[in-house]
Structure 1
Amino acid sequence: MLRIEKLNFAYGDLKVLWDVDLEVRQGEIVTVVGANGAGKSTILKNVSRLVRASSGSLRFNDVDLLRMASHEVVGLGIVQVPEGRRIFPEMTVLENLRMGSFVKATRKDRERNVERAFTLFPRLKEREKQLGGTMSGGEQQMLAIARGLMGNPKLLLLDEPSLGLSPLLVKNIFEIIKEINRQGTTILLVEQNVYQSLHVSSRAYVLETGRVVLSGTGAELLANAHVKKAFLGM
């Protein structure tokens, strides 16, 4: 579905990604794990075309993403849920959700997707008329993911969905990620929470200072001595 080959990226003179190879197959949850500043989010920004690669190849279902603008990528069915939630604080929960179906092709499914969001996130149904900015961090993260689903994503890009959440909410968010995948959405996940993310992953990549240093199934990486020492404190 998504194939990244020899991806290089720099912010000015600062090189961030070095020859990154990564693949996401239909139906998978693929996770990129690594420390803060490793370049994980920059991979997603390149896929979404929010930034421009220095060199390399980005293809989605055999379409060359490098030739596309960000709004065209959304039209292909690639939807990113950004780090930090970035909901519309002065809009209600329902208004935020409806903003997620701004692409014309998704509008016909708007009400059905609202109901799906409320089924996945009953808390949002309870707060349907509440302003987004008045909700807790966990509720805002639920809203950000639900808004992303309003775009009927074929590939959902999740950037640090557990950031800043309590352990109980982190567990809940990962259960919801698994359920979204079970319902047919392919997911590329970027996370600092290595333990939880590898548990839900079909496959994963370990990124260190902009380079892929390990890859394998989630179970393989959880058992890897380097991963245990570097990320799990074992």
Structure 2
Amino acid sequence: MLTIHTLNFSYGDLKVLWDVDLQVNQGEIVTVVGSNGAGKSTTLKNISRLVKPTSGSLTFNGTDLTKLEPHQVVEQGIVQVPEGRKIFPEMTVLENLRMGSYIKSSRGDREANIDRAFTLFPRLKERARQLGGTMSGGEQQMLAIARGLMANPKLLLLDEPSLGLAPLFVKFIFDIITEINRQGVTILLVEQNVFQSLRISHRAYVLETGRVVLSGTGEALLNDEHVKKAFLGM
């Protein structure tokens, strides 16, 4: 579905990604783990075309993403839920959701997708008329994910969805990610919560200082000695 080959990226003179190779197959949850500054979020931004790679290729179902603008990437079926949630704080929950279905191909499914969002996140239904900015961090993360689903994504990019959340919300978010995948959405997940993300992943990659240093199944990486020492404190 998604293939990244020898991706390089620099912010000015600072090189951030070095020959990154990564693949996501249809139906998978694939996780990219690593510490702060490893290049995880930058990888997602390259896929979404929020930044332009220095070199390398990104293809999605045979389409060259490097030739597209960000809105065209969304039209291909790739939707990113950004780090920090980035909801519209002065809009209600319902208005935020409707903003997620602005592309033409998803407008006809808007009401059905709102119902789907409220089924996944009953708390959002209770707060449908509440301003997004007045909700808790966990509720805003629910809204950010639900808004991403409004565009009928084939591939959902999730950037640090558990960041800053209370432990109860963290477990809920990972359970929801699993359920969204079960419903047929392929997921590329960037996370610092290594244990929880590898636990639900089909495959995963470890990024260190912009380089892929390990890859394998989620289970295999959970049992890898380097991963245990570097990220799990074991």
User: TM-score band (shorter)?
Assistant: over 0.9
Task: Say if 2:8 is the partner of 1:23.
Answer: no
Task: Say if 2:111 is the partner of 1:111.
Answer: yes
CA distance in 2, matches of 1:66, 1:99: 25
Counterpart secondary structure, 1:161: coil
Shift of 1:138: 0.1
Write out per-residue CA displacement over residues 186-230 of structure 1, whole angstroms, 9 at most, x where no aligned residue. Answer: 000000000000001000000000000000000000000000000
Shift of 1:130: 0.3
Q: Which amino acid aligns with 2:162?
A: S
Task: Name the residue aligned to 1:102.
Answer: 102
Write out per-residue CA displacement over residues 157-185 of structure 1, whole angstroms, 9 at most, x where no aligned residue. Answer: 00000000011110000000000000000
CA distance in 2, matches of 1:179, 1:98: 22
Map 1:83-162 to 2 at 5 A: 83-162=83-162
Task: Name the residue aligned to 1:52.
Answer: 52
CA distance in 2, matches of 1:21, 1:53: 13
How does the TM-score come out when normalised to structure 1?
1.00
Counterpart secondary structure, 2:74: helix
CA RMSD across the alignment: 0.3
Q: Which amino acid aligns with 1:32?
A: V
CA distance in 1, matches of 2:164, 2:104: 34
Task: Name the residue aligned to 1:217.
Answer: 217
Counterpart secondary structure, 1:74: helix
Task: Name the residue aligned to 2:37.
Answer: 37
The answer for unaligned runs of 5 or more in structure 1 is none
How does the TM-score come out when normalised to structure 2?
1.00
Runs of 4+ in 1 over 4 A off after TM superposition: none
Task: Name the residue aligned to 1:195.
Answer: 195
CA distance in 1, matches of 2:173, 2:54: 34
CA distance in 2, matches of 1:99, 1:147: 7
Identity %: 79
Write out per-residue CA displacement over residues 67-120 of structure 1, whole angstroms, 9 at most, x where no aligned residue. Answer: 111010000000000000000000000000000000011000000000000000
Counterpart secondary structure, 2:111: helix
Q: Which amino acid aligns with 2:46?
A: N
Q: Tell me the number of residue pairs that the alignment of Structure 1 and Structure 2 aligns.
A: 234
